[in-house]
């Protein structure tokens, strides 16, 4: 989805990221998107594992230059995107940055939801 300036904002019920040159990039909050909890969590996850996660002004043409792509939401967690409008993204398979972020996201989610042992 785009805002009135033609900038990419978000997906229906999800935020999105594209990966370029090893960095996970998501539209800026100034684009008018709803800042999802999972989106915000990825900034923290990225810092933990050394993946640059940042905001940038993005346009539809930026999708064509993406090495990888994924969406985030509470129910979908982090879901790889391998095809946009009939065009294959990257290799057509989930990429290494996406998989690295997903693995750490799932590990942190398990850690945060673990029930502490009773004493």
Domain borders along the chain are: 15-113
Cα gap 39→35, rounded to integer Å: 7
The third-level CATH classification (topology) of the domain covering 15-113 is: D-amino Acid Aminotransferase; Chain A, domain 2 (3.20.10)
Give residue-wise pLDDT tens across range 19-39. Answer: 999 999 999 888 887 788 999
Give residue-wise pLDDT tens across range 98-114. Answer: 999 999 999 998 998 88
Cα gap 78→65, rounded to integer Å: 20
Give residue-wise pLDDT tens across range 44-88. Answer: 999 999 999 999 999 999 999 999 999 999 888 999 999 998 999
User: Residue 24: what pLDDT?
Assistant: 97
């Amino acid at each position: 989805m785009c805002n009135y300036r033609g900038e990419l904002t978000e997906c229906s019920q999800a935020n999105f990221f594209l990966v370029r040159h090893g960095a996970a990039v998501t539209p800026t909050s100034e684009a008018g998107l709803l800042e999802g909890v999972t989106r915000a969590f990825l900034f923290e996850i990225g810092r933990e594992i050394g993946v640059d996660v940042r905001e940038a002004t993005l346009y539809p043409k930026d999708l064509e230059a993406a090495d990888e792509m994924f969406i985030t939401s509470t129910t979908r967690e982090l879901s790889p995107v391998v095809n946009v409008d009939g065009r294959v993204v990257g290799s057509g398979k989930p990429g290494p940055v996406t998989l690295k972020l997903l693995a750490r996201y799932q590990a942190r989610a398990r850690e945060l939801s673990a029930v502490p042992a009773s004493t």
